Copies of this chain bind each other. A is one copy, B any other.
Amino acid sequence: MHYLEGILEGNITVLSKAITLLESTKIENNKLAEEIIELCLPFSGNSLRIGVTGVPGVGKSTFIESFGSYLIKEHDKKIAVLAIDPSSQKSGGSILGDKTRMNKLSVDDKAFIRPSPSSGALGGVAKATRETIILCEAAGFDIILIETVGVGQSETDVNSMVDFFLLLMLAGAGDELQGIKRGIMEMADVLIINKADSEDATKVKLAKQNYKNALHLFPPNSNGWIPKVESCSALNDIGIQKVWNIVSKHYELTISNGSFQKNRKDQARFWLNETISDAVKTMFYQNEKIITLLPKIEADVINGKISPFKAANLLLEEFKK
């Protein structure tokens, strides 16, 4: 099959075409994409998958540009950059603008930058991204960087498909987490204060200490990793090596204690269950009788006229008929 051959050769044009197929809203394209993905599956799994998140303005593109270029130059890695932005429109993706800002990476033939799939993709953005990871790995990319905007549901999705989760922050005045969704900080394996050179050193030091104290209050990760706090200036390529050292240490620890492999297996099980769960719920809510009955019953529940459990039972009985 020419798609498989092209991808295994690392042909970017073929890889891009295959990704376009899996992002397509057309069922026949999806069927072909599914075939390609299953063929690529035995050649996948060998990359390090890193989630990168942070609010707009924190410098995610600049960080990825600097970090990716460092890994290509110093460690001879091949880098794929994907993005998840559930709000992105059909005609383009959030990273499209970023791509032009990633001057070095976008022209480097060891880097592959792919905008966020359209939110219209069958099965959703998370599914498309997870499948894209498989294709990129089969194409020989060593590091997959998955970018999210840090304000929505998508971080939970990303956390369920990466080996390492990196949170970019700024040294602010106490309310540093403003805008970051509750719970995201708890997912972070490392918290990086970016733009550290544009703030005075005392402020950065204080922010680092504050974050360390806060992370210290969280219970330990089950994999034995203690989340780290570091600072860098991506714009001036300062501190990037320290970030990579942290990622490498996390990799060594989790490989040696088996939690890396366990996490990957848990993630596969998670996506199986998620997909099933989404599909059966869709089956229910798209049932014609349910569509007719739901608005009135939901209103009754909200107004306390019927208990949620009784209401659910009524709907379920109709569905089973």
Contact = CB atoms under 8 A, between A and B. Distances in A.
A289 to B, nearest CB: 13
Max count, chain B CB within 10 A of own CB: residue among A178, A309, A315: A309
> What size tier do the contact residues of chain A reach?
35 or more
Interface in A272-303: 272, 274-277, 279-281, 283-284, 298, 301-302
A265 interface: yes
Interface string A175-219: 111111111011000000000000000000000001101101111
Interface stretch (A4-12, A34-42, A86-94, A251-259): A34-42
B174 A219 contact: no
Nearest to A186: B182
A310 interface: yes
Count identical subunits in the complex: 2
A304 interface: yes
Max count, chain B CB within 10 A of own CB: residue among A134, A174, A310: A310
Interface in A211-259: 211, 213-214, 216-219
A217 B41 contact: no
Given A276-B316, A284-B280, A271 B304 contact: no
B277 A309 contact: no
A98 to B, nearest CB: 25
A239 B245 CA distance: 48
A-B CB proximity, top 9 nearest: A275-B312, A271-B308, A272-B308, A280-B280, A214-B217, A265-B302, A214-B214, A280-B284, A268-B301
